[in-house]
Structure 1
Amino acid sequence: MRIGIVCPYSFDVPGGVQFHVRDLAEALIARGHEVSVLAPADDETPIAPYMTAAGRAVPVRYNGAVARLTFGPVTAARVRRWLAAGEFDVLHLHEPVTPSLGMLALWIADGPIVATFHTALLRSRPLQLAYPLVRQSLEKIGARIAVSEDARRTLVEHLGGDAVVIPNGVYVDTFAEAKPDDRWVGTAEAPTVAFLGRLDEARKGLAVLLSAVPEILRRRPGTRFLVAGRGETGPDDVRALIGDEAARAVEFLGEITDEEKAQLLSSVDVYCAPQTGGESFGIVLVEAMSAGAAVVASDLGAFRRVLAEGEAGVLFRTGDSQDLARTMVRVLGDEDERRGLVARAAEAVRRYDWSSVTHEVLTVYEMVVEGRDTPVVEDPSSRRGARMLERRRARGESR
């Protein structure tokens, strides 16, 4: 099968959706399919051979985070060329209502189309604004996928229709077989706790974890907190928040590679996910579970579902640093509980292995393609719609 995948977010600064697209493409290629991915990226950005760069993206505050998106007539022309060259049996769009490549491809293309929705927000003004622009085009989508029940609910409430839930995938064995790094391995006297995420993005919850550090140290002296990720937050900020003594227990690792991430998660006693909202799934929880770390996470709906309502990980009240401290102290002090969590998590994560997820996605592709003899082509009406949008943008009527 010839498969075209469109990623809305830039690979210049990759995140969860980009990694999902990359891993899906590679899982499909491993099964013998021909795959091409179109994604925003500068011409100098290193990308995989199966990817096509759609040009430079600009940072835009979108759905509580900063996303790097690309749009406009030049980008639309690149989409048209990519579609014409690809002659795809099926086109798979990610976040087609985000004002970036997915939305452009939805306007431009016609044929067997699948769309995956990642966003999970109770109220999403960007989705409400985007809906009038894509309302008619949404009818082109032959099948919709949501990465979680939370993402499905957001789709139903904001855009109507429904979707099959197929979770994000993880190469479980890659994390399960990762070798611990001595620098990060904890001991009974000095257990280690890891955090991974964008340090300056408030909803990732680093401040919630840091605020819990003094109480954790009071009751579990010697605990080390390993913080990995991109952002300007650093030791000076931690000292200002929790004081010099507690700050010495916090180690900033900076941005780490995929291999280092697997090693870190296989080394630590506990992985902490203190996010405060806006999470549709929680892929890093599955990675930590696969690597053998006990997980302590905020009780967001998406996290509760990944952690089987607390059977495969421990939940604390979202945003409550005191409750996080109490929970963390209990988990760090109970080795039997940690072993039980790890054992139950090792069974639960198999649901998310790419071997299972890829099969489910292919089943959706086959359903959409069935009975169609022609590949994905350009929609003849798309140029008129693009010109109308550009005129509205020029008048300041749409953003």
Structure 2
Amino acid sequence: MITAVFLTHTAAPSGAELATLRLLTALERGGSVRASMLLTEDGPLVALLRARGIPVTVWRNDFDSRSLTISGSGPLGLLRGAADLVRLGRGLGAAVAEAGADVVVAQSTKALLMGAIAARRAGVPMVWQVHDRISGEYFGGPLAFGLRVLGWSAARGVVANSRATLGTLLTRRRPHTVAYPGLEPGPAIEREAQRAPDEVRIVMVGRLTSWKGQDVLLRAVALLRHRPMTVRLVGGTFFDEQDYRAELERLAAELAVPVEFTGHLGDPGPEFARADIAVHCSVTAEPFGQVVVEAMRAGCAVVAADAGGPTEIVRTEHDGLLVAPGDVAALAAALDRLIADPELRTRLGESARARAADFGIEATAASVTALLDTVVRGRAPVSDPDSAASR
């Protein structure tokens, strides 16, 4: 039995955190890993974890990661921030040691910094579970390079949420694996038959932020020969992104696109069940794309951006369609084709259901368990022979 402490800096129930919730549940069910969560803030995720019987420790602190940038705090503030980080890491290390952990699993780039110190303090290895592509488009070139180097030097193993994410990391001589954010088993989602072209409903699920590309969808709908009955934008705004929602509302009014904003929904499943077409059109390559799998499981005809994680999920023309990221005309053409052809939507949706079954949480837990076993027991490295990231 391996005892693993999963470390994260946030208790907000966003995609990566909910994926971790499902993973820890599956690990406990599997019986080979005793998993617990260590958080540096309180929030909704804590209650969700405890409701599933997963041990949780909240290590409250006032550390501000912005203090680690010269632009954010100046040279003296940078030194104070570094000292605060060391103190926090040592405190977390004491909690890890008290839990009797064999390994620390850092769940974010911030957790990587804290976890490196905590793992050293506790005398155990650290694994970095990476939910973001560590690339210049997300972090800027210099910071991305620094994170790649830090991850390689501090982590004894790496778990990536897709091949696309793994390809942005340094993994030479480090055990590594791809563990897709799996979905939990559930009852078959009942849905209505695909609607006629003039009654089609389109849904897009995702945080309302510019890189997710909701504006691309609205501009594409404005070009359609067959206008849908409605476009549902499901998602909330975080991190001072409310201005983007206001921009989307103005754009929809200008283009006369029938849009409904739902705000954040804890379970988007019913939205997918009521929709004929689900759209994913991020303009920046998605690390994985959980909503794509969720839409496919609901039997939606899916159109997704042809970059990053979705290219590993959707087999274009078989169980969905892929279009170039940010290409309004290409997205409009794909939507026109689907709207005009209910039989195509039905075929893709049925194939999508079958494809979604390939992304179950048990397979995810098995991959993570094997990686942790490799790191803790020092067995032969886990690797992904088909990945270009093995370098």
The two structures have a TM-score, normalised by structure 2, of 0.78
Q: Secondary structure at the match of 1:155?
A: coil
Q: CA deviation digits over 1:182-220, x for unaligned, max 9?
A: 9xx974232111111111x2111111111112223xx22
1:252 aligns with: 261
Q: Distance in 1 between matches of 2:150 and 2:367?
A: 30
Unaligned runs of 5+ residues in structure 1 are 63-69, 373-399
CA drift of 1:367 comes to 2.9
Q: Residue 151 in 1 paired to residue 160 in 2?
A: no
Unaligned runs of 5+ residues in structure 2 are 69-81, 380-391
Moved more, 103-112 or 310-319: 103-112
CA drift of 1:271 comes to 0.9
* 8 A Cα contact 2:152 2:170, kept in partner: no
Q: Residue 177 in 1 paired to residue 188 in 2?
A: yes
Output the amino acid matched with 2:229.
T
Q: Distance in 1 between matches of 2:348 and 2:129?
A: 31
* 8 A Cα contact 1:312 1:341, kept in partner: yes
1:66 aligns with: none
* 8 A Cα contact 2:105 2:128, kept in partner: yes
CA drift of 1:327 comes to 0.8
Q: Residue 227 in 1 paired to residue 233 in 2?
A: yes
1:166 aligns with: 179
CA drift of 1:162 comes to 6.4
1:81 aligns with: 94
CA drift of 1:274 comes to 0.7
CA drift of 1:303 comes to 1.4
2:15 aligns with: 16
The two structures have a TM-score, normalised by structure 1, of 0.76
Q: Secondary structure at the match of 2:373?
A: helix
CA drift of 1:273 comes to 0.3
CA drift of 1:58 comes to 5.4
Query: CA distance change for structure 1 residues 319 and 43 in 2, over 3 Å: closer, same or farther?
Result: closer
Q: Secondary structure at the match of 1:18?
A: helix
CA drift of 1:226 comes to 0.6
Q: Residue 369 in 1 paired to residue 386 in 2?
A: no
CA drift of 1:223 comes to 2.5
1:329 aligns with: 336
Q: Distance in 2 between matches of 1:195 and 1:43?
A: 26
Q: Distance in 2 between matches of 1:44 and 1:311?
A: 38
Query: CA distance change for structure 1 residues 221 and 277 in 2, over 3 Å: closer, same or farther?
Result: closer
Query: CA distance change for structure 1 residues 223 and 74 in 2, over 3 Å: closer, same or farther?
Result: farther
Query: CA distance change for structure 1 residues 371 and 31 in 2, over 3 Å: closer, same or farther?
Result: same
Query: CA distance change for structure 1 residues 233 and 227 in 2, over 3 Å: closer, same or farther?
Result: farther
* 8 A Cα contact 1:265 1:271, kept in partner: yes
* 8 A Cα contact 1:148 1:167, kept in partner: yes
Q: Distance in 2 between matches of 1:160 and 1:371?
A: 12
Q: Secondary structure at the match of 1:195?
A: strand
Q: CA deviation digits over 1:339-361, x for unaligned, max 9?
A: 22122222222221012221222
Q: Distance in 2 between matches of 1:165 and 1:14?
A: 22
The 5 A counterparts of 1:186-335 are: 187-188=195-196, 189-199=198-208, 201-216=209-224, 219-231=225-237, 232=242, 237-243=247-253, 246-247=256-257, 249-258=258-267, 261-335=268-342
* 8 A Cα contact 1:213 1:246, kept in partner: no
Q: Distance in 1 between matches of 2:45 and 2:309?
A: 32
Q: Distance in 2 between matches of 1:205 and 1:9?
A: 27
Query: CA distance change for structure 1 residues 186 and 46 in 2, over 3 Å: closer, same or farther?
Result: farther
Q: Distance in 2 between matches of 1:342 and 1:58?
A: 45
* 8 A Cα contact 2:93 2:120, kept in partner: no
Q: Distance in 2 between matches of 1:305 and 1:296?
A: 14
